[in-house]
Chains A and B, each alone.
Chain A
Amino acid sequence: MTSSAVSPPVSANRTAESHDGKRPLLSLRGVTKRFPLVLANDHIDLDIYAGEIHALLGENGAGKSTLMKILYGFYRADAGSLALEGRPVQIHSPADARKLGLGMLFQDFSLIPALSVAENIALFLQDVGPVVDLRQVERRIEAFAARYRLQVRANVKVSELSLGEQQKVEILKLLLSGARILILDEPTRVLAPHEVTALLEVLVGLRSDGYAIILITHKIKEVLACADRITILRGGRVAGAMLRAEADEKKLIACMFGREMPDVTRRPRSVTAETPHPVLELRAVSTRAEGAATSLKEINLAIYPGEIVGVAGISGNGQRELGDLVLGMISCAQGEKFLFGKPAGRLSIRQARREGVAFIPENPLAMASVPFMTVLENIALTRPWRYARRGGLTLDWAAIRRDALAGLEKMAYQLPLYAPARTLSGGNLQRMVIVRELGLGPRLILASYVTRGLDVQSAVAAQQALLDARGAGAGVLLISEDLEELFALSDRLIVLYEGRIVGTFRPEETDAYQVGYLMTGAGGAHDSRR
């Protein structure tokens, strides 16, 4: 191997830049991508410069990841064009992208745990011969590692590394495979605070060597700490583009969440129970997370009958774990959980459901339905005790059908009862889950992203169903990424950030700005606990 392959590819970029300081290395024009339910990217323009960190900021679902997947050849854009150093290029596959010098650091690492660090990196090297000399790969790794403070042990299996170390391997992989444009998709999501600082230092080092870096994130602090240029996406469109010098926290948040404040007339609470027991109480509960999951930290939360508690937060900050914890899919590492006034730390999911806990999970296809069973069978699934006859030898299908039809009528939904769940659209699947979970008067409802994928009418019906359940005295934990929905439905609002409750509000006492501020960690999670 020649020494030039070991040293970073700096000089070419520098010359291009010195020639004309403002010529973009990579530009996207009018990139558009439509998925069946959503227009994920709507005529997006983006210019990336060598020797700069370009932050791509936006909420979940703003279209950041889709855009980057188009850039990296995973998706084909429906419209739009790409140019590298002024020349139009086509990217049909990740292989094309890599040939053009693009490298992507995925949110979920693309490392193979069973292979060693050197093997994982060799997999992505274009210039290894038919026979792989791992020693030589290790030497190349060490050269880059020393330069950019990315030290890792090259001969151990990836399964033995921490998440922070795995990320270093990912970055090394990109550098060694000759990437000049690094796309980092939420790189700090899995990192501990000190690792975040270290990563940002690595990025600054790379920038000064002429790499172009695209940093996808929703954390404003990180953007302000290291970005040179910022583009904000909202709802698949470019909502703003500015230089670091022009940006401040307030401006970015306004861009991210939109200026318009939620404007919904709220209904007064219909039930004001005297001396009510909370239907759910969590006392200083912490959980232990595995892998990329978030652990909950010292959660104190009580939900009373007839109340909707909204959970705001950017997904991945502990919402899923909160739902799983309440249902009993994960247990408390510390602290205590009470359901309906009774200790429930060891309650099985079946017992919890029997007590009247309803669960609408984040991903209905994976978590709330068996794709090959019919709608009716899926509806029967979570309440076997209600329908079992003759000691469980038979099921009372007529009763299941009655319940299903009653639920459908209540929500004014229509569903084919005998179609396999996998044939339903995302919206219909969600309707099926709503009918099942809300149809029978639950006492505690865990609702995650209830209206995701629903058309307006169905969404309103689902929201109405939640309000009706509240009216009937149920407590509701409503997890959503739609601030408008949270403001419209919640009696109280909590904000989750990195597994902690960083704010508790009455919706009428706060606004989207304040909530958004806490959601992005801009306020500093530890300071604003209350």
Chain B
Amino acid sequence: MTLLAILGIISSAIYSGTSLLYATLGEVVGERAGIVNLGLEGVMLVSAAVGVAVTSRTGNPYLGILAALLAGVLMNLLFGYLVITRKANQLASGLATMFLGFGVSALIGKDVVGVRIAALPRLLLPGLEGLPRVYSSLFRFDILVFLAVPVAILVWWLLFRTRWGLGVRAVGENADIAYASGRNPLWLRYQALLVAGLLSGLAAAHLTIAYTMTWTEYMTGGRGFIAVALVIFSKWHPLRAIAGALIFSAAVALQLALQAAGVQVSPFLLDTLPYVLTILALIAWGGTRRHSAPASLGRVYLGTE
């Protein structure tokens, strides 16, 4: 394999890993507050469709990003209303949110299917100006790529270094104790879902406005679910999520590169490679999950008398 091919895989991994990272970070924040959002896929789809629609209408990708963020927040707040205020089962509500997202996104996106939209400008990674064009073109990224790792660090800082994050983690571990400490568990969970919605919106915005630059139905292709799995892989830790997203997307890129190179293995088998890796990771962490998952993950907080 040539250097160029390897660099190509890395570049592609960074590109497709970015939206995965944002989505994983969002799910980390929600799950740290005790809420599993299986509807992430649907949330991302609605965000993506809204982002594309607004960008194509206005011609301004930044407005599109804003619209995607807003859509992510609204979807998450809807989900939050079900599981926090109405105290509905999180898994059922998540699946309902996902299917709702399928339908709503198809509806919103029906006029812009296949329409190519104005993309975010790409900037060369600083310091690489001297590279030959074939190489340097692999390292021109949009602003959301450059922001991904700083955002992961920001999320880590929020969760582990701020009063708010301490409260969120406490709610995810034991809502009664969080209540006893004078916090409002329901309100904190809404706040966590709001942040998660922003991050899901970023994930969808990057996927469409920077990466594919177009809308097709179900275009997230299971990224929402991969993100849910990556949360477990990264043991609910924002910085480990960076590695998780990169490893998974590198596996995808490698698999594509192998297929392109005509490797004599069934392409269907190769297609499963990233998911096999995910399953292996889940098996490896599975035994220790008890020690790292937020203790009241998935539990409804009914409150005291």
Contacts and interface: CB of A to CB of B under 8 A. Distances in A.
Interface of A: 74-76, 93-95, 98, 110-115, 119, 122-124, 126, 128-132
Interface stretch (B43-51, B64-72, B174-182): B174-182
Interface string B146-183: 00000000000000011110110110011011111110
B294 interface: yes
Contacts of B162: 130-132
Contacts of B108: none
Contact-residue bracket for chain B: 20 to 34
Nearest to B178: A123
B295 interface: yes
Given A110-B174, A114-B169, 14 more contacts: A74-B304, A94-B180, A112-B169, A112-B170, A112-B174, A114-B173, A114-B295, A115-B170, A122-B163, A128-B163, A129-B163, A130-B163, A130-B164, A132-B163
Given A74-B304, A110-B176, A113-B295, A98 B182 contact: yes
A524 B155 CA distance: 55
Contacts of A110: 174, 176-177, 180
B111 interface: no
Interface string B276-305: 000000000000000010110000000011
A98 B182 CA distance: 8
A132 B166 contact: yes
Contacts of B182: 93-95, 98, 124, 126
Interface in B84-107: none
A111 B164 CA distance: 18
Nearest to B169: A115
Nearest to A124: B181
Contacts of A98: 182
Interface of B: 161-164, 166-167, 169-170, 173-174, 176-182, 292, 294-295, 304-305
Contacts of B170: 112, 115, 123
Contact of A114 (B164, B179, B180, B294): B294
A111 B177 contact: yes
A405 B292 CA distance: 49
A74 B176 CA distance: 11
Nearest to A159: B291
Contacts of B164: 130
A321 to B, nearest CB: 24
Nearest to A131: B162
Residue with the greatest number of chain B CB neighbours at <10 A, chosen from A123, A128, A131: A123
B125 to A, nearest CB: 31
Contacts of A115: 166, 169-170, 173
A74 B173 contact: no
A129 B164 CA distance: 10
Contacts of A124: 181-182
A112 B304 contact: no
B173 A122 contact: no
B190 to A, nearest CB: 18
Contacts of A93: 182
8 contacts: A75-B305, A94-B179, A110-B176, A114-B292, A115-B170, A124-B181, A129-B163, A131-B162
A38 B179 CA distance: 26
A80 B162 CA distance: 40
A252 to B, nearest CB: 31
Contacts of B161: 131-132
Contacts of B180: 94, 110
Nearest to A111: B177
Please name the 7 residue pairs, one residue from A and one from B, whose CB atoms are nearest each other, closest first. A95-B182, A112-B173, A110-B177, A123-B181, A94-B180, A124-B181, A130-B163
Residue with the greatest number of chain A CB neighbours at <10 A, chosen from B163, B173, B176, B294: B163
B232 to A, nearest CB: 16
A129 B161 CA distance: 11
Contacts of B174: 110, 112
A119 B181 CA distance: 12
Nearest to A177: B181
A39 to B, nearest CB: 16
Contacts of A94: 179-182
Nearest to A114: B173
B231 to A, nearest CB: 16
Contacts of A128: 163
Contacts of B163: 122, 128-132
A75 B179 CA distance: 13
Nearest to B170: A123
Contacts of A111: 177
